[in-house]
């Protein structure tokens, strides 16, 4: 029987690349996201690769919508083998004392509370079956702060703590828990961060060859496909010319 992965934020970037990678490797897929049209496009592309695909349209910040969506899954689909908690975003790069409170709330509600909601909905089913895998997309931003990163970095520090905590809480079960921590990945991430300012977004990747969503999807899949007794706890992935959040060697 084919394994099933549920991916949040599958309409773009790393989540979308994960959908194609898991489809290529013969998995069935539950794609979730807010943009129904994009979800349908990714679903069509992954079905063309041979996957059976379900789509669930909801915002991870909407607890009731998330609950209703997960409760609509039936049979083998109700308990995915792997949950990829990917949906997330950064908004702004303001100094902390000058930050936008609405942006802060959106990041905290999505990156922390949305991830927790999905974990709370899916993991009890994995525990009951004594099999499963939660892969959280954290970030090197969770390891150290950078100028203007403040609240986004805090949310990714929270992802690290929540991932480590979940791993401890599930150690008596066969459910595995992984934190994938990328550095610079060229996706829609920076366009979102700068509220649609593409020129400013492009500047983030100036003079360096960044990672791609596909690079991260390969690592996510590596963790998911490891033998059941192997738990990849944490992986940091950097572009070759990035040493940490604050050291990026740009070739002008
Ligand atoms: P993208 O902007 O390309 O993709 C983000 C995805 O998350 C989109 O599908 C987006 O959907 C979805 N999303 C955002 N908010 C919500 C929400 N409230 N409910 C449901 N879905 C939502 O960026 P990335 O692919 O780069 O980002 C994916 C993850 O990777 C994030 O958690 C990010 O923090 C993390 N990351 C990114 C890095 C990078 O440099 N790009 C590095 C390290 C980590 P929609 O289109 O509807 O907004
Ligand atoms: C995204 C990576 O360094 O731009 O989490 O914050 S960074």
**Does residue 155 line the site of ligand 1, with CB under 6 A?**
no
Using most ligand atoms within 8 A of CB, pick from 7, 8, 10, 14 the residue to mutate for ligand 1.
Answer: 14
190 CA: nearest ligand 2 atom: 4
Q: Is 152 a catalytic residue?
A: yes
Q: Widest CA span of the chain, in angstroms?
A: 54
Predicted TM-score (pTM) of the model is 0.98
Q: DSSP 3-state assignment of 3?
A: coil
What are the pLDDT digits (tens) for 66-114? Answer: 999 999 999 999 999 999 999 999 999 999 999 999 999 999 999 999 9
Under DSSP, the state recorded for 118 is H
**Is pLDDT above 80 for 252?**
no
Q: How confident is the model at residue 31 (pLDDT cuts 50, 70, 90)?
A: very high
Pairing of strands 132-137, 82-85: parallel
Give the list of residues 6+ apart from residue 128 with CB closer than 8 angstroms, or none. 79
Using most ligand atoms within 8 A of CB, pick from 15, 139, 238 the residue to mutate for ligand 2.
Answer: 139
Give the list of residues 6+ apart from residue 213 with CB closer than 8 angstroms, or none. 13, 14, 15, 16, 17, 18, 185, 187
What are the pLDDT digits (tens) for 224-235? Answer: 999 999 999 999
Long-range contacts (CB closer than 8 Å, 24 or more residues apart) made by 93-96: 93/147, 93/148, 93/149, 93/193, 93/194, 94/148, 95/147, 95/148, 95/150, 96/150, 96/151
What are the pLDDT digits (tens) for 136-180? Answer: 999 999 999 999 999 999 999 999 999 999 999 999 999 999 999
For residue 203, the tally of other CB atoms under 10 A from its CB is 12
Q: What are the structural domains of the chain?
A: 4-237 (3.40.50.720)
Q: What are phi and psi of 147, to 5 degrees?
A: -55, 125
């Amino acid at each position: 029987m084919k394994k099933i992965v549920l991916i949040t934020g599958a309409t773009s970037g790393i989540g979308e690349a994960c959908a194609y990678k898991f489809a290529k490797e013969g998995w069935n897929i539950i794609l979730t996201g807010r943009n129904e049209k994009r979800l349908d496009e990714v679903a069509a592309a992954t079905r063309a690769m041979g996957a059976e695909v379900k789509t669930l349209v909801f915002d991870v910040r909407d607890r009731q919508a998330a609950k209703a969506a997960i409760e609509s899954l039936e049979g083998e689909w109700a308990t995915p083998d792997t949950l990829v908690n990917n949906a997330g975003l950064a908004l702004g790069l303001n100094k902390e004392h000058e930050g936008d409170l609405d942006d802060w709330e959106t990041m905290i509600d999505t990156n922390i509370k949305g991830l927790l909601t999905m974990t709370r909905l899916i993991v009890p089913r994995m525990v009951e079956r004594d099999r499963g895998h939660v892969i959280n997309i954290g970030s090197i931003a969770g390891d150290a702060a950078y100028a203007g990163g403040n609240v986004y970095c805090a949310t990714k520090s929270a992802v690290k703590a929540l991932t480590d905590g979940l791993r401890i809480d599930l150690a008596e079960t066969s459910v595995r828990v992984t934190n994938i921590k990328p550095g610079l990945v060229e996706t829609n991430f920076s366009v979102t961060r700068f509220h649609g300012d593409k020129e400013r977004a492009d500047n983030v990747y100036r003079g360096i060859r960044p990672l791609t969503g596909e690079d991260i999807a390969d690592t996510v899949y590596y963790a998911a496909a490891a033998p059941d007794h192997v738990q990849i706890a944490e992986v940091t992935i950097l572009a070759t010319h990035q040493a940490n959040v604050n050291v990026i060697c740009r070739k002008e």
